[in-house]
Amino acid sequence: RVDRRQRQMCIRDRIVSPTSTQDKICVCGRVTNLKGYCFEIYNGGQWKLVAGNNLLASNILKDFSNIAWHEMQIQFTGNRIGVLVNGTLVHQALDTTFGSGMAAVGSGWNIANFDDFSVVELPSPNVSIHSFINQINVGVQIRNDFSGYVGMWI
């Protein structure tokens, strides 16, 4: 029997980023009671990795365009959290605040486009993240027939 906390998971989505400097888009994982890990990107390329209300890391993406589609990922392997943009590892952090929970996408009540949302189990911890990125689309079924709300923050 595998403990859910030990599973290696990847939450992935393609997004078009927001238009004003305060707007954000985010992919979140291990969310329980509206708190979890969130990888947020703001217009202009500033990004943050947060655990609930605690900032784990932040920086700025070079050459980030708010009118182009980007792929955001947040990956979990035990207490290791990796965040990627367009297949490039942006940051890795170690944190044990949240051990399990739901996946989510968000835009901070701003207009944003999301597409190809998926949650997949990563291969064994012995497989490198870059090796996995090249194989992530194997067995993933893409659906484009959804319209409506994905979820809401309260």
pLDDT digits (tens, 9 = 90+) for 21-38: 568 889 999 999 999 999
CB atoms within 10 A of CB 114: 17
Find tokens 């029997």 and name the residue.
1
Mean pLDDT, the chain, whole residue set: 78
Cα 41 to chain centroid, rounded: 10
Distances (CA, A) of 83 to 20, 49, 50, 69, 129: 23, 8, 11, 17, 11
Mean local confidence (pLDDT), 3-19? 68
Distances (CA, A) of 69 to 41, 60, 65, 134: 13, 17, 8, 19
pLDDT digits (tens, 9 = 90+) for 75-89: 999 899 999 999 999
- Using DSSP's 3-state secondary structure scheme, residue 5 falls into helix
